[in-house]
Amino acid sequence: MAEPTNQNRQGDEPRRMNVAGRITSYFVDSKVTILIFVVAVLAGILALYVTPREENPQIVVPAANIIVTKPGASPKEVEQLIIKPLESILHGLTGVDRTYGIAMDSMGIVTVRFYVGQNREASMVRLYDRIMSNLDRMPPGTNLPLVKPVNVDNVPIMTVTLSSATMDDYHLRRVADDVLEHLRRVKGTSLTYLLGGRSRQINVNFDLGRMHHYNVSLLDIRRVLEATNVDIPSGALVNNGTVSTVIAGGMLRNASEVRNLVVSLYAHRPVYLKDIATITDGPGDIKYVHRIGYGPSYTGVRSPDFEEPAVTIAIAKRKGTNAVTVAAGVLAELHHIRPLLIPPGVHVDITRDDGRRADEAVNTLIEHLTIAIVTVVLLLVVFLGWRAASIVTITIPLILFITLAVGMAVGQSINRITLFALILSLGLMVDDSIVVIENIFRHYSKKGADRLTGAVSAVNEIGRPTNLATFTVILAFLPMFWVQGMMGPYMAPIPFNVPVAMITSLAIAYSVAPWAAYRWLRLRPLQHVEEHVPGWLERGYATVMGRLLASRRLRLGFFLGITLLMALVLAMPAFKLVLFKMLPNNNTDTFNITVDMPAGTALEPTDRVVRRIGDILRTVPDVTNYESTVGRPGVIDFNGLLRGSSVKKGPQYAEVRVNLKDKRARSETSVEIVHSLRPAISRLEARTGANIKLVEEPPGPPVRATILAEIYGPSYRKLRQIAKEVRYDVFAKTKDVVDIDDSNTADTMQYRIVVDHRKAALAGILPVEVAQTLQAFLGGYNAGAVHIAKEKEPVLIHFQIPVPDRVLPSDLRNIFFTNPAGNEISLGNIAQIRPVQAPKPILFQDQRPVVYVTGEMGTGSPVYAVLHMWQYLRTHRLADGVKLKQDFMSYPATTSYGLRWGGEMRLTLDVFRDLGGAFAVAIILIYVILVAYYRSFATPLIVMGAIPLTIIGVFPGHAIMDLIEGHYYFTATSMIGVIALAGIVVRNSLLLIDFILDFRRAGHGLREAVLQAGITRMRPILLTALAIILGTAAMVTDPVFGGLAVSLISGTFASTVLTLFVIPLVYYMYERRQEAKTASGNA
């Protein structure tokens, strides 16, 4: 900085001090500063160890399923009587974002999703209130609605899988039951449950022939059992001053009591249950299968079998607790009880440990942060000398610690995004201290300066521009708080932590930095010389800049060049040199495979397909193990929760969760592994008719499907037809779209038993008896539970007809009823069995009937696949002549057929729209604050001229990465980088303009002032830029946040180089014109 400025500023310094100066004068020689130091370090370490760790920030989306049953109602009836009224009732609820309905046979489910970030408890209370107050509107014959909240906190953070080659599933479950009892005592656990294995029950297998013989019907037995299996506290007897309670009843306590139950009389002799049924105590029918298989990377003891039956213990954690400590507690307890409770032949595998995952994710990033700090420190040593550098260095952990402590205080968790925010602000947070130290150094280099007042006045001097520069950065980030949808809370740590870190860095720069500088900053003659003699960089800059300032033609050429460059860069996306995507895929250690067989497929064929998937998985070198669940979904994860996979219960569904070895020990990413699996999986699909999806964990918020076409229209039958055409003619023919599916279900057969009312009435049988008997006959019937004190799960008494006796519809004819007269009436006499096509479910979204067509991306970005399909549908009619009206944001009109693109495409559009909006708001805010600072409308525009220059770096930066890595996208994180850049580059040009103004106030000519300011500011500007570039370089390799780093590095690079020329030149030209105007005005 030049001398005249200081005189100018120092003149009024002792009396009028700004905030910066006052803070410094208080702290520069105070013992409080040492306290700040100590407190910050302690608070920071506490925060690091105590704050809950997560991999990604938790997104709270209150949601609930409302299940209403109306036995016998067709889907059409359910639609009219239940779904439509219920959806309209719920739609009016405050805070409700979306409602989804599904009308099925005898049942309707409405899913209510509240806006992201709504209070969960309050939303649920409102929902219950709404439903309870509308109960009177329920149509007759409907059962009470069941409200099942979908709770993120119930997603298990840990699963422990027990498996054995020798023990069957039933005994394995009993072992798991014992283990679970211990594990759920661990502090911080909440919901726990078991998956796999069959529970103990009393199986009552009826023999229809003997029931005929004794003339006992199912209903008789049921009545007897229900009347027997009760104990009622009947009151108390008082005698002799003591009270004895009396309990009456005949509760059944074991299988033999059930066996000896008298169910009827035949020829004046009792008929026992054992006379007409086989009663066993043990596992029941197989409803689903759960097992584990081991891949090549498995490190435990191998089983002789490829796959073993398994029981998985799932453990969720309480809200607000630290997954890391809960998981560690569970593991410690497991280790402790293992020798006592788990027999030697049982394998124990930890198949999910989100605590460890979170810890590893956080530790990896702390590692990155450390590398970033070390590189920045090395840079500082080179630029500032080790003494000044070490003062700046001690401020870095202080700022980080205080930021983490503030985060802990407001209840944030430490997650990947928090740490990215810290890495991102690293380059910026050292800047404040650098500016302060540099200026103190300059003051000290003057002869005869008093160290104390020198430090204070040095800070005071740069206070205003530093404040301003810091606030522009904060302003650039703050509007990101207003990003809507699930992406909002996901990114929220950035607009929170960066401003906190910036404010902290400012405070530290004014307090701790001058305090340290006052004590330790020493001058050496060499350094003195180094600082003030221009190096080759400055000389080179001066030459080029001097020529540009001198020649008008050169200047014009320069600006033309910049404009041309800008135009070329902006054209890059159009030529697909820069590709857009919401978020790139993350490299994770796990993925899921879901199997949907055609509706009506039995458990065994589904199991066969799943075993084939296991065969494929066992050939993948990086697979450690995989858990298959056939007949129901596996242990739910966050992605599955929002995709609604928990409703996929039935023999035709299966899910395989694949665990890979640690990503750091792998050469292939999970994305590549999944990609390499696809050919084998699609061959299996073609062979078996199954629909198999490879579900990767999304890097950001989950969506129902990456590509989602919602098709709306007046006729549902037509919608199904259109969906089929969209699926096979559009989706299937688009490159890279895989895992295609639609919400239509396959045609299945149903047997409808039509009771002839006249015949039934004449025989004395009520249709309800028919229905109840059939239910017991086919599905089995739970007639209460036996009362065994020690059992951990209820032991149900299960009535059923053995499987071999219920195979064909003709078997149904053997069912009989007994009328009040005691005569046996067979089903065939009073009813007809007719095969019909099963009615199909009807789906709704926000009260509109909808059919979904879904797809995933093999490789590449869904943006281009969707645009391709959009273009196709825009220009083509479907096979049956329908022209779909397409929308991206709003719902199409319900009078014609329309398609709305959802999934990741809409999320992408929403996020880029919100981020674009945030960017615009940030720019306006920066402009406003600059106008207030410069008291000019034009100067801020020149200062902000640096913002568009960043794009010259950002797009080519992504294009280069695309060339190197392949499939590198401009993502939401890249966009965050662009927003951050706005704040950063304005800071540089602001200090540049500030210096020009200072030089001019000191009496320099315009050209000289512009040139000198550039020369003086060049080093600090380059230092800041290099600090940002080196600081963020550690992030480049991250699959998700690499885009942010690339944006920052390339944008800072381009903008810094260009700012040094463009900003002074524009200012020069502007001022020249102004001067000319004034001159002509005066003349």
Give CA 236 to chain center in angstroms: 58
- CA–CA gap between residue 347 and residue 640 (Å, rounded): 27
Q: Based on CB atoms, which residue is closest to other proteins, 159 or 393? A: 393
- CA–CA gap between residue 540 and residue 550 (Å, rounded): 16
CB of 458 to other proteins, least distance (A): 19
Judge whether 528 and 499 are in contact, CB under 8 Å. no
CB of 1028 to other proteins, least distance (A): 21
CB of 614 to other proteins, least distance (A): 10
CB of 778 to other proteins, least distance (A): 14
CB of 677 to other proteins, least distance (A): 19
Q: Based on CB atoms, which residue is closest to other proteins, 283 or 858? A: 283
For the chain, the first-to-last Cα distance in angstroms comes to 36
HEC profile of 771-793: HHHHHHHHCCEEEEEECCCCCCC
CB of 317 to other proteins, least distance (A): 20
Q: Based on CB atoms, which residue is closest to other proteins, 177 or 607? A: 607
CB of 619 to other proteins, least distance (A): 11
Judge whether 486 and 353 are in contact, CB under 8 Å. no
Q: Based on CB atoms, which residue is closest to other proteins, 197 or 940? A: 197
CB of 474 to other proteins, least distance (A): 25
**Shortest CA distance to 823 belongs to which of 777, 771, 763, 780?**
763
Listed in sequence order, the DSSP H helices in 250-353 are 255-259, 273-276, 323-341
- CA–CA gap between residue 4 and residue 2 (Å, rounded): 6
The position carrying tokens 């084998």 is 680
CB of 43 to other proteins, least distance (A): 14
Q: What angle do CA 1059, 1062, 1066 make, to 5 degrees?
A: 130
State the CB neighbour count (10 A cutoff) for residue 18. Answer: 15
Q: Based on CB atoms, which residue is closest to other proteins, 184 or 806? A: 806
CB of 2 to other proteins, least distance (A): 30
Buried-state track 417-444, b at ≥16 Cβ within 10 A, e below 16: bbbbbbbbbbbbbbbbbbbbbbbbbbbb
Q: Based on CB atoms, which residue is closest to other proteins, 996 or 1034? A: 1034
Q: Based on CB atoms, which residue is closest to other proteins, 303 or 1047? A: 303
Q: Based on CB atoms, which residue is closest to other proteins, 286 or 778? A: 286
Q: Based on CB atoms, which residue is closest to other proteins, 306 or 888? A: 306
> For residue 960, what are the contacts with CB-CB under 8 A and spacing of at least 6?
1050
CB of 305 to other proteins, least distance (A): 4
Q: Based on CB atoms, which residue is closest to other proteins, 377 or 851? A: 377
- CA–CA gap between residue 852 and residue 901 (Å, rounded): 10
CB of 570 to other proteins, least distance (A): 42
CB of 806 to other proteins, least distance (A): 10
Q: Based on CB atoms, which residue is closest to other proteins, 612 or 693? A: 612
CB of 218 to other proteins, least distance (A): 21
- CA–CA gap between residue 990 and residue 431 (Å, rounded): 14
Q: Based on CB atoms, which residue is closest to other proteins, 756 or 805? A: 805
Q: Based on CB atoms, which residue is closest to other proteins, 361 or 709? A: 361
Give CA 743 to chain center in angstroms: 24
Contact residues for other proteins, defined by CB under 8 A? 45, 48, 164-165, 167-170, 197-198, 283, 286, 289, 291, 296-309, 359-360, 363, 366-367, 369-370, 373-374, 377, 387, 390-391, 393-394, 396-397, 516, 520, 522, 602-605, 607-608, 611, 624, 661-662, 665, 803-805, 807
CB of 465 to other proteins, least distance (A): 27
Helix, strand, or coil (residue 1041):
coil
Q: Based on CB atoms, which residue is closest to other proteins, 722 or 1035? A: 1035
- CA–CA gap between residue 909 and residue 484 (Å, rounded): 11
> For residue 1026, what are the contacts with CB-CB under 8 A and spacing of at least 6?
379, 383
CB of 922 to other proteins, least distance (A): 32
**Shortest CA distance to 224 belongs to which of 242, 244, 196, 204?**
204
- CA–CA gap between residue 1 and residue 995 (Å, rounded): 8
- CA–CA gap between residue 743 and residue 732 (Å, rounded): 15
State the CB neighbour count (10 A cutoff) for residue 588. Answer: 20
The position carrying tokens 């990155």 is 368
Judge whether 548 and 474 are in contact, CB under 8 Å. no
Q: Based on CB atoms, which residue is closest to other proteins, 197 or 584? A: 197
Q: Based on CB atoms, which residue is closest to other proteins, 393 or 1055? A: 393
Paired tokens of 310: 């398994």
In DSSP notation, 703-734 reads -S-SEEEEEE-S-HHHHHHHHHHIIIIIITTS
Rg for the chain (alpha carbons), in Å? Answer: 37
State the CB neighbour count (10 A cutoff) for residue 410. Answer: 8
CB burial of residue 231 (10 Å; 0-12, 13-18, 19+): exposed
Q: Based on CB atoms, which residue is closest to other proteins, 378 or 766? A: 378
Q: Which long-range contacts (CB under 8 A, 24 or more apart) does 266-272 make?
A: 266/214, 266/215, 266/216, 271/214, 271/216
CB of 47 to other proteins, least distance (A): 13
φ and ψ at residue 140, rounded to 5 degrees: -60, 145
